[in-house]
Amino acid sequence: MTEMRRRQAVSVEELLQEPYLDAEEQKEVVHRLKQQHARQSQQWTTVFGVLAVVLGIGCLYLSWHQLRDPWGLRHHAFFSGSVNSGVISLAEACSGTSLLLSAAALMTIDTTSNNHTPSQQHCKPVLIINALYAVLTAVLWSYLLRTAVRFQEESLLHAAHYMWLPFGPMLYMLLVFYLLHSLNGTACDVAKLQTSMYNLHTA
């Protein structure tokens, strides 16, 4: 432990003896951080956007399948006899639309902006609409689950297997919020570093 402390002390002293970066070197460091953040933002938004599109299309397919072959799927058959077939198809379509709205919000982010942070202004209205839409979808699925449990006298434990239906789109929307918050936090750190660079340059 003592040896480790000595190493840390030596490393700190060595860092203090390092010369300050000049203005051009500071600009180069900040420029590289900007490029790295923009690249990571584009990668993560693309990954989550594509995943949302795939899941959304999958939900729309389930909606179409329910119309073509009512109660043909296991999780659809759970609601048979308690609710109308078209309502289940509508609920699946709502889930798919919510996921596609999440993808649309991610795809409207401008990661090639010349500013220090990717532009998230265009995606905010879509996120707000999606939040309301995801809540309404969760309420619809929750109502359908409650109706099925009361009609079939099934236990709540059995119905818990289908809790992903109401909360799936909402959880994905919250995951998108967390992703954008993390990217924005990193961008703010780069902006603070850039501000400190200019303060040091003008001191």
CA torsion through residues 19, 22, 24, 30, sign: positive
- pLDDT tens, position by position, 99-117: 999 999 998 886 655 444 4
CA 153 vs CA 149, 150, 163, 169: distances in Å: 5, 5, 17, 27
pLDDT confidence of residue 186:
87
Output the six-digit token pair for 151.
Answer: 């009609």
Q: What is the pLDDT of residues 27-82, one digit of tens each?
A: 888 888 888 988 999 999 999 999 999 999 999 999 999 999 999 998 898 898 88
Amino acid at 1: M
Q: How buried is 87 (Cβ within 10 angstroms: 0-12 exposed, 13-18 middle, 19+ buried)?
A: middle
Best CA proximity match to 190, nearest among 30, 27, 20, 7: 30
Query: Does residue 124 register a pLDDT over 90?
Result: no
**DSSP class of 137:** H
On whether the pTM is more than 0.85, the answer is: no
